């Protein structure tokens, strides 16, 4: 089943144009690769500060992804809803971001709002292995696509735990802010990569 997306009409750069063209015919919301490609475009839009375009794109399909024991697409839904909540939160709409997270939890019978410690524990462990681009080995040679994919991956890795910590658990800033610092850093790296197109 193809789902039409609310795509940006403005031209930004080659990377964004390539994704817009690829997604123009819609996505199959039951396929991870299709949903992941739409999330990648939304991340690109957010990174170049096209916040409304990011939100409109995510809203055009996020709630249509259904949980299924036989499909791995729910992980992609988590990335979709987390980015949507993050974008909404950063427009000073915490109640709306909270609702997006509640909808996410209600869409999967296997996760519970009162059992999120493991999410934060995993993210704290991930933080211990995180290396910002400025500290990468100078001999490391990556293509532009590998660089942007890496930044998108780091963003998906830390946005959800940041939101759980900040909005659901209402943790002390000492827990939530390091996640947000990584997110801001990765958004800047991604923006820099996209602007060198």
* Chain segment 146-172, per-residue pLDDT in tens: 999 999 999 999 999 999 999 999 988
Containing structural domain, residue 18: 2-195
* pLDDT for res 105: 93
With contact defined as beta carbons under 8 Å apart, do 97 and 163 qualify?
A: yes
The span from the CA of 160 to the CA of 183, in Å, is 11
The span from the CA of 74 to the CA of 160, in Å, is 14
* pLDDT for res 51: 95
Task: Specify the DSSP element, H or E, that contains 83.
Answer: helix 73-89
Instruction: Give the CA-trace dihedral at 96, 109, 78, 54, to 10 degrees.
Output: -40
Residues of the chain with pLDDT under 50: none
Report the predicted TM-score, pTM, of the whole model to 2 decimal places.
0.94
Q: What is the b/e burial string over 46-82, where b = at least 16 CB atoms within 10 angstroms of the residue's CB?
A: bbbebeebbbbbbbbbbbebeeeeeeebbebbbbbbb
With contact defined as beta carbons under 8 Å apart, do 46 and 189 qualify?
A: no
With contact defined as beta carbons under 8 Å apart, do 6 and 56 qualify?
A: yes
The span from the CA of 79 to the CA of 83, in Å, is 6
* pLDDT for res 108: 87
* pLDDT for res 117: 92
Which tokens in the block code for residue 90? 């950063």
| Neighbour tally for 180: CB within 10 Å | 18
Total domains present in the chain: 1
* pLDDT for res 197: 59
Query: 3-state DSSP call for residue 28?
Result: strand
The CA–CA distances, whole Å, from 93 to 41, 45, 54, 63, 99 equal 22, 19, 15, 19, 10
């Amino acid at each position: 089943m193809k789902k039409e997306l609310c795509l940006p009409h403005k031209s930004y750069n080659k990377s964004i144009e390539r994704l817009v063209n690829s997604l123009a015919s819609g996505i199959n919301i039951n396929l991870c690769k299709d949903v992941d490609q739409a999330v990648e475009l939304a991340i690109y839009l957010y990174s170049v500060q096209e916040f409304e375009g990011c939100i409109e794109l995510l809203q055009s399909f996020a709630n249509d992804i259904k949980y299924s024991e036989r499909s791995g697409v729910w992980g992609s839904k988590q990335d979709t809803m987390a980015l949507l909540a993050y974008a909404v939160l950063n427009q000073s709409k915490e109640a709306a971001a909270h609702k997006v997270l509640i909808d996410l939890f209600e869409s999967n019978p296997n996760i519970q709002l009162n059992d999120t410690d493991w999410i934060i524990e995993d993210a704290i462990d991930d933080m211990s292995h995180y290396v910002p681009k400025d500290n990468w080995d100078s001999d490391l040679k990556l293509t532009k696509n590998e660089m942007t994919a890496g930044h998108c991956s780091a963003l998906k890795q830390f946005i959800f735990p940041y939101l759980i910590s900040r909005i659901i658990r209402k943790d002390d800033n000492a827990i939530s802010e390091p996640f947000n610092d990584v997110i801001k850093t990765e958004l800047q790296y991604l923006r820099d990569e996209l602007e060198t197109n």
